[in-house]
Structure 1
Amino acid sequence: MEITPELLRRLEDLARLRLAPEEEALLLEDLRRILEFVNALPALDETPLWQEGRLREDVPRPSLSQEEALSVAPAQEEGFFRVDRVLEE
């Protein structure tokens, strides 16, 4: 598939965008580079990023008690970690 100026104008219409001519030229080049990258993906080596047997077995183990976990907390309140409010009400 080739990204042509006509296709770009069609995409502009569908997205309800109005681009300046210099913006169109930049976007056209960006889209062409993205398409080249995507087209090159099948040629990549398909060796998995991990090897079988290299990951540890997922085995349940005892976890920290509530008291142990809270013992390293900078602040706690009523058995929970206390953190600063991040959302306004």
Structure 2
Amino acid sequence: MTNPEKLSNSTHAQRTRLLAALESAQGYGITSYAANQELGIYHPPARIKELRQTGHNIATLWETIETDISRPRRVARYVLISKEAN
């Protein structure tokens, strides 16, 4: 059975996918480019801002990557430092 949350483009579904990716990255993080291309997050900075507003501690590191069309692109790498306190 297909998970409807995985297919949804709602902001809640995007935040859920992004948080899961940050958790599974185990400190390595995920780039804004990968979040957009692989997770379908339309505007990663907005979802990161929303996650921070709910108490998640997420660091932003800047780096330059080479895209799939061999062009350099400056992107943010988001790293989950700690989850919200319950």
Q: Under TM normalisation by the shorter chain, which class is it?
A: under 0.3
TM-score, structure 1 normalization: 0.26
Greater strand percent: which structure?
Answer: 2
TM-score, normalised with respect to structure 2: 0.27
**Whose radius of gyration is greater, 1 or 2?**
1
